[in-house]
Amino acid sequence: MNYRGRKTVHMSNASWIRSALERFEAPLTRYAFGITGDLERARDVVQDTFLRLCSESPARLDGRVAPWLFKVCRNRALDVRKKEARTLSLEDDRSESRESPDPLPSAELEAKEGMTRILALLTTLPENQREVIRLKFQNELSYREISEITGLSTSNVGFLLHRGLRSLRELLQRDSRGSSESARPVRSVP
């Protein structure tokens, strides 16, 4: 009977992990993809994330599974990216007052197949703004959770979101006003 009792604990642990897998598999893979830029690496990262979840206890993570998963996933993805030496790590442009790259001209944006205008504009934002925007609006995480995931302070998260949203608004508005201005680079912040 003891034996069975122990099994039951493991089973409930397993089903807990399986339901977490079901719930977060797709969001995490998309998130990791955003960091690694490589689908296979992203999947490996998410796999590793869940492998780590296997050794966590449900009680310890109660109510915090989402930020925990995103955090582990993020760190793993950044490690992978560093190793791949593909791009700078996110940390490096945390300093923030970097200027946005030139916005893409409309035609080029349209050419990004199937991508809507706002998503195309999103790709022109600095990576740290892009990341918090995705965490906030794609994964419905709170400032506090995003802060836990990224290691930024909540006010920093709020600042990045504020900045990112403002840039998007401005870019969209300029779009609707006409394309003559759109070749001019946007200055990020005064």
Partner 1 sequence: MTIDLDDPKLTAYALGELADESESASVEAFVSQSDDARRLVEEIRETASLLRKELGAEPSIELTGIHRERIDRSLEKRARAGRFVSWIAAAAVVLLGVSIVWWWKLSLMPEISAPAPRVSSYAPPPSAPAEARPLAAPQSGPAQETISAPVGIEGGVPGGVIGGMVGGVPEGIDPASVQRLQSSSYIAGRPSAPRSPAPAFAYEPRDTGYLDVQRARTPFHTEAYDRIDDNPFLDVGQNPLSTFSIDVDTASYANVRRFIAQSMLPPKDAVRIEEMVNYFDYDYPAPPEGQPFSVNVEIADAPWKPEHRLMRIGLKGTPLSLDDRPRLNLVFLLDVSGSMEPPDKLPLLKQAMRLLVDELTENDQVAIVVYAGASGMVLPRTSGDQKGVILDALDRLQAGGSTNGGSGIQLAYDHAVAHFIPGGTNRVVLATDGDFNVGVTSQGELTRLIEERAESGVFLSVLGFGMGNYKDSTLEKLADRGNGNYAYIDSLSEARKVLVEEMGSTLVTIAKDVKIQIEFNPAEVESYRLIGYENRVLRAEDFNDDEKDAGEIGAGHTVTALYEIVPKGAPSGTPSVDPLKYQRPLAPAEEASTGELLTVKLRYKEPDGETSKLLERSVRDDGTRYASATQDFKFAAAVASFGMILRDSPHKGNATLDSVLELAREGVGADRHGYRAELLELARRAKSLRER
- Residues near partner 1, by CB under 8 A: 1, 4-5, 7-8, 10-11, 13-14, 17-18, 21, 25-26, 29-30, 33, 39, 42-44, 46-47, 50-51, 54-55, 116, 118-119, 122, 133-134, 136-138, 142-143, 155, 158-159, 161-163, 165-166, 168-169, 172
Integer Cα distance of 173 and 80 in angstroms? 37
At closest approach, how far in Å is the CB of 142 from partner 1? 7
How is residue 111 written in tokens? 């050419």
At closest approach, how far in Å is the CB of 148 from partner 1? 14
Chain-centroid distance of CA 121 in Å reads: 16
CB closer to partner 1, 81 vs 136: 136
Integer Cα distance of 103 and 185 in angstroms? 6
Q: Are 93 and 129 in contact (CB under 8 A)?
A: no
Q: Are 28 and 70 in contact (CB under 8 A)?
A: yes
CB closer to partner 1, 46 vs 149: 46
At closest approach, how far in Å is the CB of 141 from partner 1? 11
